[in-house]
């Protein structure tokens, strides 16, 4: 990525070093959230593997979503904990920063696509039930998951190549706790305007296109629900979608605020709080939402506990 004759700079991650009084409490909060995230997502993965009730396309996607959440938080949280445990800002190598951003983008884009696949699954199940076994076959589901990962890899490779071939100062300082796209891009000495336009265009596309597909799916689902004569049937169908809708709202809501909102008026503190929410808090909430609001997952959990 970089010129072989050029000394690669190390990036200084400021993290939360300006909030020294909060570093100790924040360390324990982040650690607790991380452990709950791992426990919740590994539990979802286990349940989808051992419970025959959860051997369906929806839970196949949910299993992969939980895998993404585990990898996503593990890419960020251990480094954040190490920085919070230190009284001084810590440096991250050029390649370490590039690797963290690459993994971050791969997993973020994959999650967008998986959430879209889950919305499509609900659309087919409710609006085209007679074609469900054909449209959501094992091969079709595996292809959707594979495409999700492939799009993440292509996007991450493109973004990383654009960003890390730019010239950086000898001691670049990132006012953040991770190597996120915009904070790193703003440090570039030259050529960042063109790269920023390219990166932001791709980011908006990969947020808005999946979100538009999800909205379209649920608009048709809503039409099908309103056409049902039985109130009980409406409630049953809606309950199968509510968990996914809540997870989609959390993910795309925070992502849109972070990457699409105007830069004017934004502050470093606001950026860090938003990033803390969608990189650490949201992955913890997802398995909780699916466990508490989904009767099939709850029944499978109690069955495993009894066994």
Tokens, residue 25: 């409490």
pLDDT at 64 over 60: yes
pLDDT for position 141: 95
Write down the pLDDT at residue 263: 60
CA nearest 250: which of 76, 65, 80, 84? 65
Residue 5 confidence (pLDDT): 46
Q: Please list, residue by residue across 189-227, b when 16 or more beta carbons sit within 10 angstroms of its beta carbon and e when fewer do.
A: eeebeebbeebeebbeebbeebbebbeebbeebeeebee
Per-residue pLDDT of 161-208, as tens digits, reads: 888 888 888 888 888 889 988 888 888 766 556 666 776 777 777 788
- pLDDT, tens digit, 9 for 90 and up, residues 117-144: 999 999 999 999 899 999 999 999 999 9
Using CA atoms, how far residue 204 sits from 80, 108, 193, 210, 262, in Å, is 27, 13, 16, 10, 13
User: In 3-state terms, what secondary structure has residue 11?
Assistant: strand
Q: Could you state, in order of their start, the residue ranges of all structural domains in the chain?
A: 15-306
Question: pLDDT tens digit string along 4-60?
Answer: 445 788 899 988 887 778 888 999 999 999 999 999 999 999 988 988 888 889 999
Place of tokens 């445990």: 85
Calculate the dihedral angle through the C-alpha atoms of 180, 181, 186, 190, rounding to the nearest 10 degrees.
Answer: 130
What global pTM score does this model have? 0.88
Position with higher pLDDT, 74 vs 292: 74
Superfamily grouping for domain 15-306:
Rhodopsin 7-helix transmembrane proteins (1.20.1070.10)
pLDDT one-digit tens code per residue, 233-285: 777 777 778 888 888 988 888 887 777 766 655 667 777 888 888 888 889 98
What is the Cα–Cα distance from 68 to 90, expressed in whole angstroms?
27
Residues 89, 14 contacting (CB under 8 angstroms): yes
Summarised one tens digit per residue, pLDDT across range 154-172 is 989 988 888 888 888 888 8
């Amino acid at each position: 990525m970089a010129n072989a004759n050029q000394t690669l700079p190390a990036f200084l991650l400021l993290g939360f070093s300006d909030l020294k009084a909060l570093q100790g409490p924040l360390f324990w909060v982040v650690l607790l959230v991380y452990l709950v995230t791992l426990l919740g997502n590994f539990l979802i993965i286990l349940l989808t593997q051992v419970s025959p009730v959860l051997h369906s396309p929806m839970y196949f996607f949910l299993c992969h979503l939980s895998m993404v959440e585990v990898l996503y938080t593990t890419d960020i949280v251990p480094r954040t904990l190490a920085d919070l445990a230190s009284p001084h800002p810590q440096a991250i190598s050029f390649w370490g920063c590039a690797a963290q951003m690459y993994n971050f983008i791969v997993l973020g884009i994959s999650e967008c696509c998986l959430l879209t696949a889950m919305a499509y699954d609900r659309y087919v199940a409710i609006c085209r039930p007679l074609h469900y076994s054909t449209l959501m076959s094992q091969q079709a589901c595996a292809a959707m998951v594979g495409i999700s990962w492939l799009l993440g890899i292509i996007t991450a490779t493109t973004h990383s190549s654009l960003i890390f071939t730019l010239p950086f100062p000898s001691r670049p300082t990132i006012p953040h706790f991770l190597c996120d796209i915009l904070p790193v891009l703003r440090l570039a000495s030259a050529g960042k305007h063109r790269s920023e336009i390219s990166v932001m265009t791709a980011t908006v596309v990969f947020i808005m296109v999946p979100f538009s597909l999800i909205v379209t799916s649920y608009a048709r689902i809503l039409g099908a629900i309103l056409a049902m004569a039985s109130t009980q049937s409406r409630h049953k169908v809606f309950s199968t979608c509510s968990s996914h809708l809540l997870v989609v709202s959390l993910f795309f809501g925070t992502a849109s605020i972070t990457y699409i909102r105007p830069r004017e008026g934004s502050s470093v503190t606001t950026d860090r709080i938003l990033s803390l929410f969608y990189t650490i808090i949201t992955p913890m909430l997802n398995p909780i939402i699916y466990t508490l609001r989904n009767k099939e997952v709850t029944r499978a959990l109690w069955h495993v506990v009894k066994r």
